[in-house]
A = this chain, B = another copy of it.
Amino acid sequence: MYTVSSLKAELHERGWRLTPQRETILQIFQNLPTGEHLSAEDLHVLLQQDGEPISLSTIYRNLKMMSRMGILRELELAEGHKHYEINQPAPYHHHHLICVRCNKTTEFKNDSILKMGAKTAQKEGYHLLDCQLTIHAICPSCQRSILPI
């Protein structure tokens, strides 16, 4: 599991700083129940409720930074905004099946996909950050409904 001290070490490597805001954000995602994903706005509200508010600007900046570092995963689960979750290695690593109509999201695991992704990145000389299989589909419930699009 990624720790606060390893975050600090990685930040310092690049001449960056560990702030209470970054520590808080990391801890929120580390303790997030399986299957839950947070948007920037979700996180903002959650932190306000917890009594340790962080400005939306700072949240956006750090979600982006931590994704670029490979600590978080940036997911497109719904239209219009991103969702985030902690990026974990196998066997916790997983993928998403999304209904394009109701946005219902189901997680599933498949070890071989991460292996293939890592292999592909390595073959091209890339430094892997995240590997996500996203299945866009229509769920059984929405197939029965006669809603447009």
Chain A interface residues (CB < 8 Å from chain B): 14, 64-65, 67-68, 74, 76, 97, 99-101, 106, 108, 110, 112-113, 116-117, 120-121, 124-140, 143, 148-149
Contact = CB atoms under 8 A, between A and B. Distances in A.
A39 to B, nearest CB: 15
Given A97-B121, A106-B124, A149-B64, A132 B134 contact: yes
Contacts of A140: 124-126
Given A110-B120, A112-B112, A117-B135, 5 more contacts: A64-B149, A125-B139, A127-B138, A128-B135, A130-B135
A32 to B, nearest CB: 20
Contacts of A131: 133-136
Question: Which of A101, A108, A143 has most chain B Cβ within 10 Å?
Answer: A108
A133 B113 CA distance: 8
Contacts of A143: 127
Nearest to A127: B138
A127 B134 contact: no
A74 B79 CA distance: 11
B128 A137 contact: yes
B133 A138 contact: no
Contact of A126 (B113, B133, B138, B149): B138
A147 to B, nearest CB: 11
B126 A97 contact: yes
Contacts of A134: 131-134
